[in-house]
Amino acid sequence: MQTALIIIGTLVGAFIVLNIYARIKMKNTPAVSDHKNILTLTEKNFQQQTKNKVVIVDFWAAWCAPCRMMAPILNDVSNELTGNTAVGKINIEEQKTLADKFKVRSIPTLILFKNGVEIKRFVGIKQKDFLLKEINAVTI
């Protein structure tokens, strides 16, 4: 019985230490500059920038570590898109009206729009290949 308690205590302690380490590492994730092709969307330009296009829009905030982790992935996606496809970003702290309009409750949230209409929604960190596959499925 005593051995089982020692093992359980060790496992719980290891879990706590790993959790703290992961949080520190995520918090220290550096901010990455946006690719030149990424659209900065606002309430004023949203309709114009999403009209007659397929746009995947990232709802994010500067304080969000997973959002910072998505930035390089979105840069890579933006670099590969051509034609009437694009990546857009909406800072939910600065564009609260848009975040409310699209009922964004957690971030990062990625919404795929076609001609300004929501087609699909993804929450959390997604990989480049997944995003490109989803964008290409809508453009065909």
Number of neighbouring beta carbons within 10 Å of residue 115: 12
- Which one is catalytic: 38, 64, 74, 111? 64
- 70 a catalytic residue: no
- 75 a catalytic residue: no
- Which one is catalytic: 54, 67, 81, 86? 67
Q: Is 103 left (phi over 0), alpha (psi -120 to 50) or beta?
A: left
**DSSP letters along 34-75, please?**
PPTT-EE--TTTHHHHHTTSEEEEEEE-TT-HHHHHHHHHHH
Residues designated catalytic: 64, 67
